[in-house]
Amino acid sequence: MSQTEVITSTNSTGPSGKQPDPQPGALPWTSIIGEAFRKLSPRVQMKNPVMFVVYVGSIVATVLGIQAVRGDGDAPAGFIFAVAAWLWFTVLFANGAEALAEGRGKAHAQALRASRRRVVARVLKEPRLDSTSWPVPSDELAVGAYVHVNAGETIPADGEVLVGVASVDESAITGESAPVIREAGGDLSSVTGGTRVLSDWIIMRVTAKPGEAFLDRMIAMVEGAKRGKTPNELALNILLVALTLIFLLVCMTLLPFSIFGVQVNGAGQPVSITVLIALLVCLIPTTIGALLSAVGIAGMSRMMNANVLATSGRAIEAAGDVDVLLLDKTGTITLGNREAVRFVSAPGLSESAVANAAYLASLADETPEGRSIVTLAKGSFNVKSRTLDGAEPIPFSATTRMSGIDIDDRQLRKGAASAIRAYVERAGGTFPEAVNLTVEEISRRGSTPLVVADGPRVIGVVELKDIIKRGIKERFGQLRSMGIKTVMITGDNKLTAATIAADAGVDDFLAEATPEDKLNLIRKYQAEGHLVAMTGDGTNDAPALAQADVAVAMNSGTQAAKEAGNMVDLDSNPTKLLRVVEVGKQMIMTRGALTTFSVANDLAKYFAIIPAAFVATYPALGALNVMGLHSPSSAILSAVIFNALIIVALIPLALRGVKYRAEPASHLLRRNLLIYGVGGLIAPFIGIKLIDILLTPFF
C-alpha cells in the first residue's frame, strides 16, 4: 500500500457536530423544572408508591377545592386550595430531586455523544502492514476485522491491539488528558472506539459491533436507561409501602371516630377530608420516598465522577457491603510492571551466559517481563541480536508459569523456580542448591526470581523488581478500620508474596495462584457469607472477576476482563477499588440517614397535627397544643408546608451523600442514628412553629 493512499480517519464529523461539553456537570434549571412537570404523568408516579399517595391526595384536594368554590365544601375554599397547592409542590419537589440527579448523567451523556464520531477505517486483509487494505466506514465495521490506525487518527471501534505499541489519547471517555500506552500482547491491549492514536501506529482487531461499543453502553448507562431497583432499594420500598398502608388505615378510621365524637358530645364538627389528606401526607414517609431514587442515581454519578462506570446500581450497592477485598500484586499493590534488574549465574557460569540465555528465552515474549529482560540484556551485556528464524517460541501462561523458546538446538526456558525445577528434573537434570539460595534471597527481598534453564541444565536467575506503591499501607489500614479484609493474590512464589504482603500491610495473601485458585478463593469467601470485591486486568483474572460480587476491570485491560467485570475503571488505577467501596458505603449510609430522618420526622409531626385536627371534636386535645400554634388550620397548613420544604432542604444531602469516614459500621450507625434520628424528631417542632408564625397574618 502506498503512503498516498492513506485515508485519514479524522476528516469526518460526528453526528451532532457539537463540541463536547468541557465540564459535564448539570443541566440548566429550566430543563430541570420542565422535567419535574413531565414526571407528573401517572405512569411515572405509579412507580413510587409513597409519592403516588401524595399525588392522588393532591388531585382529591384540588377537586374538593373546586367543590368548595361552588359552595359545597367541608372547609373554606382558600384553606383547601392552599393545602392542595402545597401537596402539588411536594410531588414536584420529589420529581425535581430525581430530575436533578438524572441531569448530571444526561449532561455527561451529551458530552460522550459528541465525542462519538463516524470515521473511515483502513481495513487490512491480514494483520500486517504490507497487507492489502481498503476503506470502510466505522459504523459498518464487522467484528474480527483488522484495522490499521496511524498517529493522529481516531480509533474506529472497540478492539484489541494485535501489532504495535502506540500512545493513545483517551480523554474523550476519561476526561484525563495524559496519553496512555496501548500495546499488543500484555494486559494493556484493549482500545476504545472514539479515542485517538497520538504517536506510532497499531493494527487492531475489532471486537464490538457498531452500536454495541463501549461508548454506546456508557451512554445508555449514564442516561439511566437500564437503571433497575437494587435489592436494598426494593426492601426499603416494601417497608415504606407498609408504613404508608398503616397510616392510610389510621387516617381512614379517624373519620368515623371523629363523627362518633361529634354525636356523643353533641357539639363540634367532624374532621374534614382535606385535613385527613394533609394528615396522611404528613405521616407517611414522604421525605425518603421523594429522595430515594435521587440517592441511587447520585451514587451512580458519583461513581462516574470517580471515572468508574458501573453496569448496574446493584454493583454499586454491593460495593457498599463488601467485606473482603482481593487485590493482585503486580500493578495493584506494586507500581506498574515488574522489571528485570539483575542476572545471577549458576555455579561455573558467567553472568553474560545468563543474560544471553534469558535474552533468547524472551525473544518472542511480548509480556512486560519478557520485554524488560530483553532491554536489560541488550543494554548491560551487549548480547548479540538474533531473529526468530527457525525458532519455536513457547508463550507464557499463568498455568505453566514459564515461557521460552526452542532455538538452535537449545531448549531455553524461564519461569517460576518451582516450574523450572519440575522442567529440569523431567529432562533428567538437577536443580543446584546455590541457585535455590539465590531464589530465596531474591524472594525474601520481595523481588520475583525467574530461573533460566537450557534443557536439563539450570543457567541462572533473573531478578524482577517490584516496587510497593507509596501510601498503600495507610489505605489498607483504613480498609481494616472499615471492617474490610484485604487479601493479595499473586502468581508469585510464597516467599516473595509474604515479603510484599508484610510490607504492604495486607491481612492475608495467596501465592502461586492460578486463575482457578483465584476463582476458588472467591467462591470460598462467598460460601462463608462474605461479599467479595476484586480488581483485575488480565484474561487470567476474567473467571474470578465474573465470580466476584464487585468486579472492577481496568479500562486498559483485556476485553475478556472488561466483559467479566461489573464495573470498569476508566483510569485503569487498581487502587480505585478503595474509592468504589467508599462511594458504595456512602450511598447506603445516605439512604439510611434519610430514612431515619424521615421516619423520626413523621412521628414528631403526628404530635403537631393530631391536636390541631381533632380539637374541634375533642376540645380537651387543645391541651396537647404544646407548640402554641395559632389555629388548627394554620397548624395543619404549616405541617404540610414543612413536609414539602424539608424535601427541598435535603436534596443537597441526597445528591452529595452524607459525610463519610473510614470507621466500623457500628460507629457509623450510632452516629447517624443520633444526628438524623434526634434531628428528625426536633426539626418539625421548630420548622412548623416558624411557618405558623409566618402564616398567622393570613388567618
Binding site for ligand ATP (CB under 6 A): 328-330, 365, 367, 369-370, 396, 398, 401-403, 414-416, 448, 450, 490-492, 513, 538, 540
3-state secondary structure 304-369: HHCCEEECCHHHHHHHHHCCEEEEEHHHHHECCCCEEEEEEECCCCCHHHHHHHHHHHHCCCCCHH
State the binding partner of 574 from K ion, Mg ion, ligand ATP, none, CB within 5 to 8 A by kind: none
User: Is 400 among the annotated ligand-binding positions?
Assistant: yes
Instruction: Examine the residue annotation and report whether 549 is marked as an active-site residue of this protein.
Output: no
Residue 465: CB minimum distance to Mg ion, A? 15
User: Is 397 among the annotated ligand-binding positions?
Assistant: yes
Residue nearest to Mg ion (CB): 330
Helices (H) and strands (E) in the chain, counts: 23, 22
State the binding partner of 286 from ligand ATP, Mg ion, K ion, none, CB within 5 to 8 A by kind: K ion
State the binding partner of 396 from Mg ion, K ion, ligand ATP, none, CB within 5 to 8 A by kind: ligand ATP
Comparing CB distances to ligand ATP, the nearer of 155 and 402 is 402
User: Is 541 among the annotated ligand-binding positions?
Assistant: yes
Comparing CB distances to ligand ATP, the nearer of 305 and 520 is 520
Residue 538: CB minimum distance to ligand ATP, A? 6
Distances (CA, A) of 106 to 28, 33, 219, 588: 11, 15, 9, 23
Tell me the window of 291-299, 327-335, 413-421, 519-527 that interacts with Mg ion (CB under 5 A): 327-335
| Spatial separation of the C-alpha atoms in residues 488 and 536, rounded to whole Å | 12
Distances (CA, A) of 73 to 70, 551, 631: 8, 60, 19
Label residue 318 exposed, middle or buried (CB < 10 Å: 0-12, 13-18, 19+).
buried
Residue 294: CB minimum distance to K ion, A? 16
State the binding partner of 506 from ligand ATP, Mg ion, K ion, none, CB within 5 to 8 A by kind: none
User: Is 409 among the annotated ligand-binding positions?
Assistant: no
Residue 296: CB minimum distance to K ion, A? 20
**H-helix or E-strand containing 485?**
strand 485-489
User: Is 398 among the annotated ligand-binding positions?
Assistant: yes
Comparing CB distances to ligand ATP, the nearer of 318 and 533 is 533
Angle at CA 415, nearest 5°, toward 411 and 417? 110
| Spatial separation of the C-alpha atoms in residues 621 and 461, rounded to whole Å | 90
State the binding partner of 448 from Mg ion, ligand ATP, K ion, none, CB within 5 to 8 A by kind: ligand ATP
Q: Which residues bind K ion (CB under 5 A)?
A: 286, 602, 643
Residue 182: CB minimum distance to Mg ion, A? 17
Comparing CB distances to ligand ATP, the nearer of 315 and 358 is 358
Comparing CB distances to ligand ATP, the nearer of 214 and 476 is 476
Q: Residue 325 is placed in which grid cell?
A: 477485598
Closest CA to 578 of 353, 393, 290, 333: 333
Chain centroid offset of residue 305 CA: 10
| Spatial separation of the C-alpha atoms in residues 623 and 614, rounded to whole Å | 11
DSSP label of 622: G
Distances (CA, A) of 234 to 211, 231, 241: 32, 5, 10
Tell me the window of 19-27, 166-174, 325-333, 456-464 that interacts with Mg ion (CB under 5 A): 325-333
User: Is 369 among the annotated ligand-binding positions?
Assistant: yes
Comparing CB distances to ligand ATP, the nearer of 110 and 448 is 448
Residue 382: CB minimum distance to ligand ATP, A? 22
State the binding partner of 454 from K ion, Mg ion, ligand ATP, none, CB within 5 to 8 A by kind: none
Comparing CB distances to ligand ATP, the nearer of 419 and 604 is 419
User: Is 587 among the annotated ligand-binding positions?
Assistant: no
Distances (CA, A) of 373 to 354, 360, 450, 463, 580: 11, 10, 10, 9, 35
Distances (CA, A) of 139 to 18, 19, 136, 203, 557: 19, 20, 8, 18, 24
Rg, C-alpha atoms of the chain: 33
User: Is 332 among the annotated ligand-binding positions?
Assistant: no
Q: Residue 55 is placed in which grid cell?
A: 399525588
Closest CA to 190 of 178, 177, 207: 207
**H-helix or E-strand containing 6?**
none
User: Is 389 among the annotated ligand-binding positions?
Assistant: no
Comparing CB distances to ligand ATP, the nearer of 251 and 439 is 439
User: Is 396 among the annotated ligand-binding positions?
Assistant: yes
Comparing CB distances to ligand ATP, the nearer of 421 and 630 is 421
State the binding partner of 513 from Mg ion, ligand ATP, K ion, none, CB within 5 to 8 A by kind: ligand ATP
* DSSP conformation letters of 666-695: HHHHHHHIIIIIIHHHHHHHHHHHHHHHHH
Residue 394: CB minimum distance to Mg ion, A? 19
Residues contacting Mg ion: total by CB under 5 A: 1
Residue 372: CB minimum distance to Mg ion, A? 14
| Spatial separation of the C-alpha atoms in residues 629 and 609, rounded to whole Å | 10
**By CB under 5 A, residue 330 contacts Mg ion:** yes
Sheet-wide strand order for 165-169: 180-183, 165-169, 196-200
Q: Backbone dihedral region of 373: left (phi > 0), alpha (psi from -120 to 50 degrees) or beta?
A: alpha
State the binding partner of 403 from ligand ATP, K ion, Mg ion, none, CB within 5 to 8 A by kind: ligand ATP
CB 368 within 8 A of CB 186: yes
Length of the chain: 699
Residue 329: CB minimum distance to K ion, A? 52
CB 206 within 8 A of CB 191: no
Comparing CB distances to K ion, the nearer of 97 and 489 is 97
State the binding partner of 402 from Mg ion, K ion, ligand ATP, none, CB within 5 to 8 A by kind: ligand ATP
Q: Phi, psi at residue 148, to the nearest 5°?
A: -100, 125
Residue 494: CB minimum distance to Mg ion, A? 17
User: Is 312 among the annotated ligand-binding positions?
Assistant: no
Give the residues across from 191 on adjacent strands: 159
User: Of the residues 328, 492, 571, 602, which is catalytic?
Assistant: 328
Q: Which residues bind Mg ion (CB under 5 A)?
A: 330
Q: Which residues are annotated as a binding site?
A: 365, 369, 396-403, 414, 537, 541
Q: Which residues are annotated as a binding site for Mg(2+)?
A: 537, 541
- Catalytic residue set: 328
Q: Which residues are annotated as a binding site for ATP?
A: 365, 369, 396-403, 414
